[in-house]
Amino acid sequence: MLVYKTKVDLVDRINNLMQPDFSLGFVPTMGALHQGHLSLVKSALANNNFVVVSVFVNPTQFNSSSDLNKYPRSLAKDIKALETVSKDSILIYAPEVEDLYGSKIKSESFNFMGIESLMEGNSRPGHFNGVGTIVKRLLQIVNPNKAYFGEKDFQQLLIIKKMVEQEGLEVKIVGCPIEREPNGLAMSSRNGRLSPKEFHESAMIYEILQTVKQKFSSEDIASTCDWVLRRFNNNPLFELDYFQISDIESLMPIKEKIPNKKYRAFIAAYIGDVRLIDNIDLN
Ligand code: AMP
């Protein structure tokens, strides 16, 4: 499988491949690919003639250089994983930082109507400006018909939809369901850092979300939130960062349900020094 290191080579190849009625899919990733990423690639392949998968650890979305340096990089393994899905319909774009940022590694500023400072943005100022910057740049280079993002990062998915609308980009953003380990834990490149015991215990996160979904139809929000806090307090392996039930448009936490609105429950928790996130649709 060919790997394109520069945007010039990638665009040249895309222009050669594409026919007037062809559709191009795009899956942006930071590499360290697992079945969650591959599920996006499979969805993209099912609905497009060719799929570009980018593998790029984006410096502007990290708050600390040590996190950026620690991020796993495994391009050779990622290529092998993608080859198991398709050998001839995937183009891998794995550039160096300069190809996307030139000499200025800096984010653009977006207005995401406050969504950027909730949940994942609360402890990571500027994170979503970094995400918006890189996804906008990648979409402008690849110019796909459809781009695929995981609901695992539901807040990111919403922010990207907003950015695409604000910037007037002509691409359909497709949200894809969360792929899970057999014990229910949402797949993540961080799961490899869990000890066998931590991995086993982490099943609790999805168990809690499933119970929250059951409780949502019959109990009030405050008592459900109390129940979640108690579950985490009773397990010394975990430290809860946040739990909230939010309206899926504003992501603001709610105290009461409003008919015809849609909601999702979100959890972020530490087990040891590994931070795990997950969410579930409540409607
Ligand atoms: P990342 O490499 O972590 O930036 O993720 C690249 C894309 O894969 C994002 O759109 C993520 O939401 C998506 N993704 C990550 N984990 C999963 C998963 N378990 N299920 C579905 N999509 C995922």
The pLDDT tens digits of the residues spanning 121-176 come to 998 999 999 999 999 999 999 999 999 999 999 999 999 999 999 999 999 999 99
Q: Where in the sequence of the chain do the CATH 3.30.1300.10 domains occur?
A: 189-281
Token match 């930082």: residue? 97
| pLDDT band at residue 60 using 50, 70 and 90 as cut-offs | very high
* Distance of CA 191 from the midpoint of ligand 1 (Å): 13
Superfamily of the domain at 189-281: Pantoate-beta-alanine ligase, C-terminal domain (3.30.1300.10)
The set of catalytic residues is 37
Could you give the CA distance from residue 61 to residue 260 in angstroms, rounded to a whole number? 35
Predicted pLDDT of residue 119: 98
Q: Where in the chain is the domain with CATH 3.40.50.620?
A: 2-176
What stretches of 29-94 show up as alpha helix (H) in DSSP? 35-47, 65-70, 75-85
* pTM for this prediction: 0.97
Tell me the C-alpha distance between 194 and 201, whole Å.
10
Q: Which residues line ligand 1 (CB under 6 A)?
A: 29-30, 36-37, 39-40, 149-150, 152-153, 176, 178-179, 186-188
**Centre of ligand 1 from the C-alpha of residue 22, in Å:** 26
Mean pLDDT of 228-252: 97
Which pLDDT does position 1 carry in this prediction?
83
What is the pLDDT at residue 253? 97
**What CATH code would you report for 2-176?**
3.40.50.620
Mutation probe of ligand 1 site: the residue of 30, 128, 131, 152 with most atoms within 8 A of C-beta: 152
Please give the Cα distance from 204 to 185 (Å, whole number): 8
Q: Which residues contact 55 (CB under 8 A, 6 or more apart)?
A: 29, 30, 31, 33, 75, 78, 92, 93, 94
pLDDT tier at 2 (50, 70, 90 boundaries)?
confident
